[in-house]
Amino acid sequence: MKTILTYEVRFLTNGNFKSMKKTIALLAVLGLFLMTSLPAAAAEEFTITIKDHRFTPETLEIPAGQKVKLVILNQDPTPEEFESYELNREKIIGGNSKGIIFVGPLKPGTYPYFGEFNMETAKGQIIAK
Ligand SMILES: [Cu+2]
Q: pLDDT tens across 2-13, in order? A: 555 555 555 555
Q: Is the pLDDT score of 55 beyond 70?
A: yes
Q: What is the model's pLDDT at position 6?
A: 53
Which tens digit of pLDDT belongs to each residue from 75-118? 999 999 999 999 999 999 999 999 999 999 999 999 999 999 99
Same domain, 68 and 53: yes
37 and 50 in a single domain? The answer is no
For residue range 11-36, list pLDDT tens digits in order. 555 556 666 677 667 767 766 666 66
Residue 28: per-residue pLDDT:
75
CA of 40 to the centre of ligand 1 (A): 25
Do residues 111 and 51 both lie within one domain?
yes
Alpha-carbon span 62 to 72, nearest angstrom = 15
Give me the number of domains the chain comprises: 2
Same-domain check for residues 77 and 122:
yes
How many A from CA of 91 to the centre of ligand 1?
7
